[in-house]
Amino acid sequence: MTKAWASQGQTNPDYVSRVHIDNARGPETLAQDLWTFMVPELSLMATPHKPAQLVILCVGTDRSTGDSLGPLVGTKLLESYRLPPGVQVLGTLEQPVHAGNLEKYAELLQQKHQHSYVLALDACLGKSENIGYITAKEGPLKPGTGVNKQLVEVGTSHLIGVVNVGGFMEYFVLQNTRLSLVMRMAQVMVDALAGLLYMYQRTLYPCAVNKGTHHISIPFSSGSWESVPVAPSKIE
């Protein structure tokens, strides 16, 4: 669980993207912005014989309604899509990545995915006017800041979704967060990640697409950005 205090409409040069769950084009916008942002880093991580690998790290716990966003996204992603080659999802309802085992997963990423792009995601608390917003940001996720914990930072970049108001009785607030909001936010993230994986596969593993293996579809048109080439965090 992360903390976010940016006000609605505030511009921040660190933002990669920011959408509301009620925005019909939110998933498409988020996918496009993420892909465009990630392309240069993926290019640097790739080798002549191996494309850059991608790890989607979904942080949270199924024991708290408000903090279940990450595991829900991981579960929905794995149940709805056959992942492209080179992609791994960590953090599900069955095997959550949370405060108790985050250190272990951070060590795993360091040992086995040192040269992979890690996209971390988590629920967060913030101002009332920001509830329902999903923000993509450069740099590592800072889990635990929403409940005043200091945990290991993870990720090359990260996604956070504001599920409720922060600043007081955080654990009580998380337990009393509406599940419907978390489910809607999870679906927006899953749809956006599907778009991201679609472009990842078409660009880095075109043979898999041509052969019809590991093909991933998206719930919206990829539009003009289809040709882009590859050569809980605290928001101030």
- Per-residue confidence (pLDDT) for residue 4, from 0 to 100: 60
Parent domain of 42: 2-225
Q: Quick check: is 232 in a domain?
A: no
**Beta-carbon count within 10 A of 181 CB:** 19
CATH number at residue 63: 3.40.50.1450
pLDDT at 149: 75
Q: How many domains does the chain have?
A: 1
Inside any domain, residue 230: no
Do the domain assignments include residue 233? no
pLDDT at 203: 87
Closest CA to 194 of 110, 93, 82, 109: 82
* Mean per-residue pLDDT pooled into runs of 10, the chain (236 residues): 50 80 96 95 86 94 94 96 93 94 93 91 94 96 76 94 86 89 97 95 74 58 45 35
Tell me what pLDDT residue 48 has: 79
Measuring CA to CA, which residue among 116, 193, 106 is closest to residue 141?
106
pLDDT score of 147 = 63
Q: Locate 7 and state its tokens.
A: 């006000």
- DSSP characters over 60-115: --TTSSGGGHHHHHHHHHHHH--PPTTEEEE--SSS-B-TTTHHHHHHHHHHH-TT
Asked whether residue 50 is domain-assigned, the answer is: yes
The pLDDT of residue 54: 96
pTM of the predicted model, to two decimals?
A: 0.85
- What is the rounded CA–CA span in Å between residue 151 and residue 67? 15
Q: Alpha carbon of 15 to those of 49, 64, 88, 185, 233: distances in Å?
A: 32, 27, 25, 18, 12
**pLDDT of 97:** 95
Q: Is there a domain that residue 26 lies in?
A: yes
Residue ranges of E strands in the chain: 2-3, 15-20, 54-58, 87-90, 117-126, 133-138, 157-165
At position 127, the amino acid (one-letter code) is K
